[in-house]
Structure 1
Amino acid sequence: MSSSFTTGVLSFFLFVQMVIGADPLYHFCSISSGNFTPYSPYDQSLNTLLGNLYYKTPPNGFGMGSTGQYQAQIFGLSLCRGDVSSEDCKSCVVNASAEIHKRCPNKKAATIWYDRCLLKYSNSNFFGQIDEHNKFYLLNINNVSDPSNLFNLATKRLLSDLSYTAYADPKMYAAGVIDLDDSKKLYGLVQCTRDLSSDDCKTCLDGAISDLPSCCDGREGGRVVGGSCNIRYETYSFVNA
């Protein structure tokens, strides 16, 4: 390992220690993947991986990679929301790296979500596979004032249109807005991790949209957030112009 690379990794972790970030939206610590011993080769691989993701992700909003060999091999990725700046992306990845250490100590696999980014790692190669297990929902506390079936149809139409845009886009991201009948607007966002194929991105987004009736029926806003894709809608703008 070169001295310049070692210095870069050490600088990254010094930066992590100085950053105090917002609380994550959610996190999963895998139990089935097992634990690793502190200061073991796996621990070293994880630290190297997180340092790599810190450098790879901000320029274009996505980074992935694998480090280590044999029992110490680890796979990971980080994804920033498609509208955030490189600087905000960098801060979010740093926060995620620091927080996942605290919330999932010594776990060989974990996932953490912030509003602006996702970070995920595992001792199993998950690249190119739709994550069907790590998923959660967030709801707007307000109910729609108009008939919910009309609002739900508008939501599905918006998110479905965005999914067609996203799966064909290199960044696998799309955001948009439509007018509602009562002069209000409806805003939406969809995004996939870029290890997926275009077809798998569309499949993942369609699956998330199909969850809306059971999770978010009649609510003014909601999210379906997973390890491979996420969708969101609100009656207010929540993305950067």
Structure 2
Amino acid sequence: MMHFSHKPMFLIFLCIWGAKAADPLGKFCNRNTNISSGGKLSANIDKLLEELALKTPSTGFVATTYGKDQDKVYALAQCRGDVSTEDCSTCIQDATKQIRQRCPNQADARIWYDYCFLRFNNKSFFGEVDTSFGIFYFNVENVTDPEAFNEELGALMNRIRAQAVVPKEEGLGKGKSVLSPFVTLYALVQCTRDLSELFCAQCLAVAVNNFPKFCSNRKGCRVLYSSCYVRYELYPFFFPLDSNKTGTSNAVKVSVYT
């Protein structure tokens, strides 16, 4: 279990579910990696982003490099494994535009959306677990029977985490658990595809271990790291959707540096 009592936190109260498609869930701009806007490194970042926008939708994942020596850039883009090619394309297009607008002078930047994630760096990060910066969203409402709910949530998370590390699943695990005739629990986890099975399992374990700290007894929660993503809700949010069930939620956002 990770402890964050000595870490800086930033709380933002907002309703995220009605946000426009171009609004990210969060971003990270490493202020210690400032670069010249007209330099070779910056130009290489733009070249890479063009490549990611073009190539990512066909497979849902790209990890690539551009340039050489001190101007070499590493980049990764991944869409959520359940979304369509069209939704993936739209999300990546937004991400490649917004990450440069929001982090215009950084060599290390990341941006999270509901349907995709994108990052670049002038240092290699491929295959490494990165939980140094986390974004947490949790529902402001509590469940009515915490003990029973947490038992079902734990079982569901264990099941889909085991699914995610199976090679053919490409880091994705999703499922649901019927809690009552009127209530169903939905959950999804995903690792970036550059991670090994072991590192994927490690990242998901760190993410889920944050539930007691930030999401205890909450009706919904998201944990977003640079290497993995975890979410559960009491309404359908992954595809294919349960057409007869809908839901919305007000949420609190917490960003944490470790």
> Structure 1: which amino acid aligns with 2:114?
D
Cα distance in 1 between the residues matched to 2:189 and 2:69: 36
Cα distance in 1 between the residues matched to 2:49 and 2:111: 13
For the pair 1:84 / 2:83, whether they are aligned, the reply is yes
In the TM superposition, 1:33-112 aligns within 5 A as 34-112=33-111
> Structure 2: which amino acid aligns with 1:23?
D
Name stretches of at least 5 consecutive residues in structure 1 with no aligned partner. Answer: 1-19
Q: Deviations over 1:60-108 (max 9, x none)?
A: 2111101111111110101101111111111111101111111111101
Cα distance in 2 between the residues matched to 1:183 and 1:237: 13
Any idea what SS the aligned residue of 1:180 has?
A: strand
1:160 is displaced (CA, Å) by 1.4
1:183 is displaced (CA, Å) by 4.4
Cα distance in 2 between the residues matched to 1:128 and 1:220: 33
1:182 is displaced (CA, Å) by 6.4
Q: Which has the higher contact order (CA 8 A, sep 6+)?
A: 2
In the TM superposition, 1:141-220 aligns within 5 A as 141-146=140-145, 148-170=146-168, 171-181=170-180, 183-220=182-219
Cα distance in 1 between the residues matched to 2:21 and 2:82: 19
Cα distance in 2 between the residues matched to 1:232 and 1:156: 13
2:23 matched to which residue of 1? 23
Richer in helix (by share)? 1
> Structure 2: which amino acid aligns with 1:88?
D
1:190 is displaced (CA, Å) by 0.4
- The question of whether the paired residues in 2 share the 8 Å contact of 1:156 and 1:209 is answered with no
Cα distance in 1 between the residues matched to 2:66 and 2:175: 37
Q: Deviations over 1:210-241 (max 9, x none)?
A: 11111100111001110000110001000111
Any idea what SS the aligned residue of 1:201 has?
A: helix
Q: Deviations over 1:192-222 (max 9, x none)?
A: 0001001110111111111111110011100
Name stretches of at least 5 consecutive residues in structure 2 with no aligned partner. Answer: 1-19, 241-258
Richer in strand (by share)? 2
Any idea what SS the aligned residue of 2:45 has?
A: helix
> Structure 1: which amino acid aligns with 2:147?
N
> If the length of structure 1 is used for normalisation, what is the TM-score?
0.88
Cα distance in 2 between the residues matched to 1:142 and 1:82: 28
1:55 is displaced (CA, Å) by 2.0
For the pair 1:238 / 2:237, whether they are aligned, the reply is yes
1:138 matched to which residue of 2? 137
Any idea what SS the aligned residue of 1:83 has?
A: coil
Any idea what SS the aligned residue of 2:130 has?
A: coil
Cα distance in 2 between the residues matched to 1:37 and 1:195: 29
Percentage of matched positions with identical amino acids: 38
> If the length of structure 2 is used for normalisation, what is the TM-score?
0.82
